[in-house]
Structure formats: structure tokens, C-alpha cells
Structure 1
């Protein structure tokens, strides 16, 4: 055990030295891609060596001392990965810049739009919402998992993007290359099972809020939000293979149950013979919302005109007419003349 402890101390020392190398490179005004890439690869090897000896020590430790040792190892690892993450992000920025320079040199006549650098991509966080899993995993797989970066880097990126229930799902795994695949498998098993995703999409359709009939464009806005949410769940179900006449047979009643009474009544009038036609129902719903929107907009316009006319009539009623003004002026002149005549007498 003493030999293993000495071996771990040496491994930690090499990791610390390589971190200092990364730190020194990152503060340089002009960073070499080759130098930075080599420093990251060296760090990965040093960290892998530390992981190996750490695993050997964990096997030898008694249960009482194991938890304390794991906590210390985890703290050291997390602290070490701070500069490692910064170094990898800087390397990706440099590589993108290098690609842009090469593209500009090969196409000197290219448009300014082609030469513009795209904004930095930020991957979405995943908190454990089953209906968001496929979107999250597709993006992560494309931009991280399918790349050639070290496996330990992929694991670190994955952990940084997980929150809530999703993070709890794999929090017991140590941050090692060997555990990356295990973490991915656990997440897929927990959140990526097609039957569970389908269930949550259908449940979301059933639990959707039915807009209450009211006046104004606010009601129209709620109708559009309801329709957009339904369409999102339906297209997601189709992507999972839930499509065809049999699926329309149960999805159409589900959607109808979430529609306002007046729209459902209109569907009953117009949809004879189309009780299981999902696409027709979606088209009908869109047209109904458009008609309602036009009606509310016209109502606001005509209401505004009516209000203006009423205000004008009211103003006319309160303002004196020309005849009334003339009589008032005549009365004032007559009183003034009479007053002058009285003073002369």
C-alpha cells in the first residue's frame, strides 16, 4: 500500500506540473496550435496514469477509509480540469480560426457572408425532461461524442451540460475515460427509451391547458400557443415511429379533448367523415385560429372607429354653435352700450 501511495503522489506531481504548462501557454499573446495540442495530450496521459493508480488504491482501501479518499481524489481531479477545459476551448477556437484563414486563402473572391465567422455554439443543458432528451443527445453526439477529442474530454463536456435529475443519474461515476460509455448508457436507459418518450409526449398532449374563451387578441395568442405545442408533440411522435392510420385513431380524440368548446363544435359540423384524419384536423385548427384572429383584429379596428366617432359627437354636443357664439357676443355689446348711455345721463 505504501508503494501505491508513493506512486500516486508522483502521478499527482506530474499532473500538477502539466497544469502549470497549460496555464503558461494560455497567457501567451500568440498561442501555437501545435504547442497547445501537445500540452493537452501530455496532460491526458498524466491524468490517465493518475486514474490507473487511483483505481489500484481504491481496491486496497477498507470501506471506512474509501469514502474520504474518493472525496479527496474527486476534489483534486475537478481542480485539475479547470485549466484543462479552458485549454480545450482555446484549442477549438484556434482550430476554427485556422480553418477560416485557409478557406479565405482558397477563395479570395468569396463573399463577405462566406468569410464571416459563425458565432460560438452553445450546447443546451439537459435537466432530465424526457421529451427533450433526443434533441439534447443529437446535438451532443454531433458536436462532442462523434469528434476525435479525448474520451475524458467528452465525459467532462457531458457532465458540464447535465443538471437536476440527469446529473443525479450518473453522479456516482468517477470522471474517468472508462466510465464515459457507462455514463452514456445510463442516460440512454433512463431518458432515451422510445416507449417512455412516446408516453411522455402523449401525456403532455393530454395535460395541455384548454384556452378559455375570452375577448381580444390575447385569446388568439393562447390558441396559437396551444396549436404550436400540439404540433411539436405530434411531429416528435412521428419521428419516433408513431404514425399511420392506427395512431391517428387515438391521437385525434386526444387533440379534440384539448380544444375549446366552440372550435370542437365547429369541427363536428365540418368534419363529418374525417373523424380519424389527423392532418385534416390540424389544418382545420389552423384555419379556425386564423379566422378568429382576423375577426378579433377587425373588431378592434371598428371598435376604435366607433369610439372616435362617439368622442367627436360628444365633443360637438358640448361645444357651442356659431349661432350661440353670435348671440353671446350681441348680448355683451348690448349690455356695454346700455351702460355707456346710463353714464351719460
Structure 2
């Protein structure tokens, strides 16, 4: 226990030191002095923060191996808060350094006024990116293709961005197992390609993605009642999302629909299955046709639902005893 207490005390010292450096970074950005001295200060703080982050990460790992199970969750939570704060400061420092190095390296004979201090209101501004609307990637294989297509076109292939800016943005857009996969890499220009390679290897394998789509289709939750319109809509959307994901990978529904149609139809209430059976004359069901019919039935129930609720409300007002039955 004495050894564990000592490690925690050492970590506390490093965290406190890093917190002071974070404050120095913010002060240098918000209240710049001489451009060259500010640039030097930012570079020093950035390098020190990267070193502190590596040190604290190692201490966190050592401490997690020794603490009681009841303290594990609290330890991880504190570690994540500290890591996010330091990484944010490193990104801020990197962006400010990039902005300040342009006039210093130019050696122009024309004296120009220094640029105004950056306000850095958002993550996108800090890395000189436009606002982007795609979602964070949490490691779900079925979401990788959509995430990567958006990231590749908006960030990865953006020639106006440096590699470290791209890495900073990538790091801010991953979470869960995706964030863990690249957590061991420092946010540097040389590590960016390595981070992309790791994510592609873990989450970009086409066979694994197809298998995950199929598994999700087979294990989607069933809906028992045809009156549960919200659940029916969610079930339909879930199936449709997997079908579209497979299609984007070049897997058409006619190549697997005959195998999964019966399985998927059993996810819907008996009343809807009966309607589908009446409308589909062929013995072999086609998934696209089944989904078209199901979609139409759900939409019809959605249109009917407000009328039924309005009718029920009128009846309850005219016959108060009905209120006791609902």
C-alpha cells in the first residue's frame, strides 16, 4: 500500500505541473507578448505537456494494476478528464504555433502588423477546419465506412491542413474502442499516418464489416405488438440501415435476402406478417419487396394513429368512466 500511495503522490505532482502548463498555454494565447517570445513559450509548454502526458499515462496504468476493484472506475474517470484537458491544450498550442510561425519564417522586408490574438471558440476553429456535421466514431464496425468517407473527404484529403492538425481533429472525433486503439500515439505529425493505419486495420476490414452487418440483422430486437408504432419504425429503420450498409459494400440484398427474409419477418408482429403473406404471391420472398410492404403498413398506421387518439379522447370526455379503463 505504501508503494501505491507513493505512485499516486508522484502522479499528483505531475498532474499539478501539467495543469500549470495548461494555464501558461492559455495565457500565452489570450495575452500574447512579443511574437517570438510567445512562440518560444508555446513550443516549450507543448513539448513539456506531451512529456507529462506520457509520464502520467504510464503511472495511471501502474496504479490501475494495484488499486482495489472498487476504485478502478473512479481512477479511469479521473485519468480521462486529465488526458482530455492536456490534449486540448496541446491542440491549442499547436494551432497557435502554426499561426505565429507564418510571419516569422517569411523574412519579408515589409513590416506588417501582428495578427489579432486567436479566440479559438471551437474545436473546428482551433485546427483551422470548417464546421463539420458527421458523428464521432465509437468503434462500431457498421459505422466505419460512413465515418471514414466523411473524414477522408473533409480532413484527410484537405491539402490546407497539416498532418498534426488532421491528427488533432481525428483524435477529437473518435471515442470508445476507436479512441483506445490510438491512445498510445502522441499527437504529432509523424504519428498521423500510423493512427490512420491502426484504425483501418481494426475497423476497415470489409469481411469483418459485412459479418457485423449480418450479425446485427439476425439479432435485431423483435416487436410483438402492431400497435407499438414507434418500435415498429425503429425496427424497420434498423434493418434498412444494415441493408444500405451492405449495399454500400457491394453486397446486394438479392444475394442474402432469400436466406434472411424469413428470419427478419419473424421480428415483426403476426398481423403484419399475415399482410405480407397475402400481398407476396411468390413462394420465395424478396427482401426489398417485403421491406416496401412493411414500410407502407407502418406509414399507414402512423397516419391513422392521430385519428385514433383524437377519437379516444372525445370518447373519454363524453364517458368519464373510460378514463378509469386506460
TM-score if structure 1 supplies the norm length?
Answer: 0.57
Which residue does the alignment assign to 2:150? Answer: 139
Q: Do the aligned residues in 2 keep the contact of 1:134 with 1:192 (CA within 8 Å)?
A: yes
> After the TM superposition, which residues 132-281 of structure 1 pair with which residues of structure 2 at under 5 Å, given as runs?
132-148=143-159, 149-213=161-225, 215=227, 219-243=228-252, 245-273=254-282, 275-281=284-290
Shift in Å at residue 187 of structure 1? 0.6
Q: Do the aligned residues in 2 keep the contact of 1:131 with 1:197 (CA within 8 Å)?
A: yes
Q: What is the distance in 2 between the residues matched to 1:135 and 1:244?
A: 19
Shift in Å at residue 139 of structure 1? 2.1
> After the TM superposition, which residues 287-298 of structure 1 pair with which residues of structure 2 at under 5 Å, given as runs?
287-298=296-307
> After the TM superposition, which residues 49-198 of structure 1 pair with which residues of structure 2 at under 5 Å, given as runs?
81-85=90-94, 87=96, 90=118, 120-121=131-132, 124-148=135-159, 149-198=161-210
Structure with a larger share of its residues in helix: 1
TM-score if structure 2 supplies the norm length?
Answer: 0.60
Unaligned runs of 5+ in 1: 1-18, 29-34, 55-66, 98-118, 312-345
Which residue does the alignment assign to 1:334? Answer: none
Q: Do the aligned residues in 2 keep the contact of 1:23 with 1:83 (CA within 8 Å)?
A: no
Q: What is the distance in 2 between the residues matched to 1:159 and 1:245?
A: 39
Q: What is the distance in 2 between the residues matched to 1:80 and 1:21?
A: 7
Shift in Å at residue 240 of structure 1? 0.8
Shift in Å at residue 247 of structure 1? 2.8
Q: 1:25 to 1:257 in 2, by over 3 A?
A: same
Shift in Å at residue 184 of structure 1? 0.7
Q: What is the distance in 1 between the residues matched to 2:26 and 2:195?
A: 28
Q: 1:297 to 1:128 in 2, by over 3 A?
A: same
Higher Cα radius of gyration: 1
| Alignment root-mean-square deviation, CA | 4.3
Matched pairs, number: 242
Superposed CA deviations along residues 166-208 of structure 1, whole A, max 9, x for unmatched, are 1221223343333221211111111111111111112112222
Q: 1:220 to 1:84 in 2, by over 3 A?
A: same
Q: 1:257 to 1:82 in 2, by over 3 A?
A: same
